[in-house]
Structures are given as C-alpha cells and as structure tokens.
C-alpha cells in the first residue's frame, strides 16, 4: 500500500495550517494581536469582503469572475444612503430604506451584468471590467463625488453594534456563510452551479438552463456586494465614493487562495472562508508588527501566487 500522501494532505489542509501558523506567530510576536478587541476588529474587517467572497465563490464555480464588486459596493452603499437622505434621515426606520435599497440596487446591477454575459456571450471578465469603472463613475455622479454622512445611531448600529458581544457585520457574515454552505452542499441549485462550471455543454444536455443559472450567480454576488456596501457605510459612518476600492481583488484572492479553480467546477465556501481569514489576519498582523502597507501588498501577492503554484504542483504529482 502507498504511504502517507503528504502532498495531497498539504493540498487539502495546507492553507488552514498556514493560517493557524500565522495566528500563532503574530500572537507570539505581539500580545495585542490576540486581544478580544483586535480579534473583533479582524473579524469585522473580514466580514465585509467575506460576505461578497461567498457570492464570488459561486461566480467562480461557474467559471466566471466579477471584477465590479468593489465599485458596486460603493455604488449600492451610496444609493442606499442617497435614497434614505432624500426620504428624510430622521425616521427610526431610515436604515431599513438604506439596507433594502443597497441590496436591491446590487442585485439589479448583478442581474444586468449576468444578462450581458449570457445574452451577448461577452466574457464575464470584460463585462465586469467595464462594470468596475461604470459603477465607480456612477457613484461619483450620484452625490457629486462627496460622501454622505451623518447617520443616526440606528443606522450606525449595523456597522458598529453587536449582538451578544459579536459585531453585527460578523453575525451577517456568519449567516451568509451558513446560507452559502447549505446552498453549495445540500441544494439542487448548488449541484447545478458545479455542473455548469464543470462542463457547460454536458449541463445543457442534462436539461439545465445554463444561462439562467449563470445570470443568477451574478445577481447573487451583486446583492451581497450591495449588502456589504450598506454594512461598510454603517461601520464608517459615511457612504464614500472611494469605498471598496480594490475589494474585488481581495475577494477574488480569498476564493482563489481557498482552492477554487478559475476554470470553474472546483472550489467551495469552506476554502473561501479560510482564504478570507488568511488575508485579514495577514493584513492586521503586519500592521501590528509595523510593516509598512507597501510591503503588505507584496506579501499578499506572493501568497496568492504561492497558493496557486502549490495547487498546480500538487495536481501534477498525483
């Protein structure tokens, strides 16, 4: 019989192992790292883009990608705040207007992008590359480039409050992850997503409505980007036109570090969460160790490349 398969084991658990090692390392280097305050901080930070990363996992599973999520987050967040402001900011239900508007705007934009991908067969990379600048521009137009601020306490609670000691964005993240996991593991829809990503032609011949499934994942990631936009504005106390710049890369990196294949059909929510946490821990830990933010970018870039390189290596040595 063959012995212990180290390469296979590392391929499966390597990222988690690396995450644990990082936590131990940063914890040992600086006692502040593992303080409740800092851990809460990391988790809240991770939650905002983690929510989008759950949706992005499904997009990437179908073999697509969405580069517009960072801009969409800003646009939807701004749209929510704008509608709320127009209706009057002082009602106790103002936040409800903002959160629904942001999510709906996100979903609508996502649907539009999904339709562009399926109806005109434009590669998702191109559609969402366009979307990335379109929605950033739209955000700037919406409020003439200036932020919308001055939210009430009810609104701020969604970003800064907590439920039983757990920050509200983290609770949201948990709920989205749970829903995402159930979808992936236990539903027909989840199976269909893997099928479409694994072999679109075979999926079609098995009676799946491939364009509809593809459109739906863009709608989903759009809605989640909108939700994240609301949460971020509540956390920062302002909807900013520059909110979420570069988030698309962080989100895609989370999914890819989590082991998903950009060709589709392989990956999952579990890996994505590890990937998102890895980026969050690394960013925070390097700040605490006073490593300059310039270097952080280099480190994160190297890790993305290393993770994928190892995966490729492991695959070729089966």
Residues that bind another protein (CB under 8 A): 2, 5, 186-189, 191-192, 194-195, 198-199, 201-209, 265-266, 318
CB of 72 to another protein, least distance (A): 27
CB of 9 to another protein, least distance (A): 12
Output the CA torsion sign for 132, 312, 180, 54.
negative
Long-range CB contacts (within 8 A, 24+) of 211-214: 211/118, 211/119, 212/118, 213/62, 213/189, 214/62, 214/64, 214/114, 214/117, 214/118
CB of 266 to another protein, least distance (A): 6
Q: Which is nearer to another protein, 37 or 188 (CB)?
A: 188
Q: Which is nearer to another protein, 14 or 265 (CB)?
A: 265
Q: Which is nearer to another protein, 48 or 195 (CB)?
A: 195
Q: Which is nearer to another protein, 213 or 276 (CB)?
A: 213
Q: Is 106 helix (H, G, I), strand (E, B) or coil?
A: helix
Q: How far apart are CA 258 and CA 135, in angstroms?
A: 28
Helix 69-87, helix 247-257: angle, nearest 10: 130
Q: Which is nearer to another protein, 200 or 244 (CB)?
A: 200
Q: Which is nearer to another protein, 108 or 210 (CB)?
A: 210
CB of 213 to another protein, least distance (A): 12
Nearest of 274, 280, 283 to residue 256 by alpha carbon: 274
Look at the chain and count its residues.
318
Q: How far apart are CA 160 and CA 200, in angstroms?
A: 43
CB of 182 to another protein, least distance (A): 8
| DSSP string over 235-289 | HHTEE-TTTTTTHHHHHHHHHHHTT--TTSS---HHHHHHHHHHHHHHHHHHHHT
Contact partners, residue 47, CB within 8 Å, separation at least 6: 167, 169, 170, 172, 173, 231
Please check whether residue 228 is in contact with residue 45, taking contact to mean a CB–CB distance below 8 angstroms: no
Q: Is 152 helix (H, G, I), strand (E, B) or coil?
A: coil
CB of 185 to another protein, least distance (A): 9
Q: Which is nearer to another protein, 167 or 267 (CB)?
A: 267
Q: Which is nearer to another protein, 13 or 93 (CB)?
A: 13
Give Cα 172 distance to the centre of its chain.
Answer: 13
CB of 262 to another protein, least distance (A): 14
CB of 245 to another protein, least distance (A): 35
């Amino acid at each position: 019989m063959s012995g212990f398969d180290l390469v296979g084991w590392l391929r499966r658990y390597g990222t988690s192992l690396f995450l644990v090692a990082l936590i131990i390392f940063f914890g040992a280097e600086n006692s502040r790292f593992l303080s409740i305050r800092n851990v809460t901080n990391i988790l809240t930070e991770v939650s905002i883009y983690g929510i989008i990363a759950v949706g992005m996992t499904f997009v990437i599973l179908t073999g697509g990608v969405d580069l517009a999520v960072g801009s969409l987050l800003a646009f939807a967040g701004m749209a929510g705040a704008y509608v709320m402001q127009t209706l009057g900011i002082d009602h106790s239900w103002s936040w409800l207007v903002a959160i629904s508007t942001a999510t709906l705007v996100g979903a609508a934009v996502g649907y539009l992008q999904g339709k562009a991908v399926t109806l005109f067969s434009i590669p998702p990379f191109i559609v969402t590359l366009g979307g990335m600048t379109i929605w950033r521009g739209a955000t700037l137009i919406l409020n003439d480039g200036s932020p919308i601020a001055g939210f009430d306490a009810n609104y701020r609670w969604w970003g800064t409050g907590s439920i039983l000691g757990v920050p509200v964005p983290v609770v949201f993240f948990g709920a989205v992850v749970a829903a995402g996991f159930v979808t992936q593991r236990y539903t027909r829809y989840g199976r269909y997503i893997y099928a479409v990503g694994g072999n679109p032609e075979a999926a079609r011949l098995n009676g799946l409505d491939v364009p509809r499934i593809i459109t739906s994942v863009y709608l989903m990631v759009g809605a989640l980007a909108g939700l994240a936009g609301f949460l971020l504005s509540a956390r920062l106390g302002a909807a900013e036109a520059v909110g979420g710049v570069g988030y698309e890369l962080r989100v895609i990196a989370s999914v890819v570090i989590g082991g998903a294949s950009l060709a589709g059909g392989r990956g999952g929510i579990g890996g994505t969460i590890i990937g998102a946490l890895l980026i969050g821990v690394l960013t925070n830990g390097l700040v605490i160790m006073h490593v300059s933010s310039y270097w952080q970018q280099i480190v994160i870039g190297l890790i993305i490349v290393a993770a994928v390189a190892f995966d490729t290596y492991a695959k070729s040595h089966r």
